[in-house]
Amino acid sequence: MLLDTPLCDFGWKAPEFTLKNADGESFTMSEQLGDKGLLIMFICNHCPYVQRIAQRLAKDTQLLTAEGINVLAVMSNDYLLVEQDSPENMKIFAKQYGFTFPYLVDQEQTVGRLYNAVCTPDFFGFNNRGELQYRGRLDNINMGGADNRVPELVNAMRRIAATGNGPEIQNASMGCSIKWR
């Protein structure tokens, strides 16, 4: 089912969490909140929307991290229901697409619920104070078609890093519903 994310709630404080990646390494949100902010993405392996953007996501997040913006990805789907989203398959998916950011397992689905994540992908851009400044999509396709993309997420995160504030106009992300228990 295709869903849209809600509008950005500017200034909403990022709830603290600690999650592990598929190798058991722990990551705490506040420790990842750098001087230039933090991008938290809710993604999964099986979603065709995520699969379609996975290469771009890897490339764009490498660019952001090189500019000092930290990135975390969270997988909140019930992987007992959707085997393709299991931690072992997360490792395979991350390697396949060259993800360099921590890809975390939200086994209890608490983080997805705390953040009111709606779909995959769902992007949350926070400033260095942990205040939400972006909740939108990866790209905005102009009238010129797929070859005429505006890198909405990259531009928003760069603006947040530079000013602490996100763009006033944001386009909701769209994707598959999170598979709740």
Measured CA to CA, the distance from residue 134 to residue 57 in angstroms comes to 16
Q: Which domains does the chain have, with CATH numbers?
A: 2-177 (3.40.30.10)
47-83: b (≥16 Cβ within 10 Å) or e: bebbeebbebbbebbeebbeeebbbbbbbbbebeeee
In a 13 Å sphere around the CA of 119, the CA atoms on its Cβ side amount to: 20
Q: How many helices (H) and strands (E) would you count in the chain?
A: 5, 12
Instruction: Please write the tens of the pLDDT for every residue from 146-181.
Output: 555 668 999 999 999 999 999 998 988 989 999 999
Cα–Cα separations (whole angstroms), residue 14 to 75, 127, 132, 134, 162:
17, 10, 7, 12, 19
pTM for the full predicted model? 0.93
pLDDT of residue 6: 77
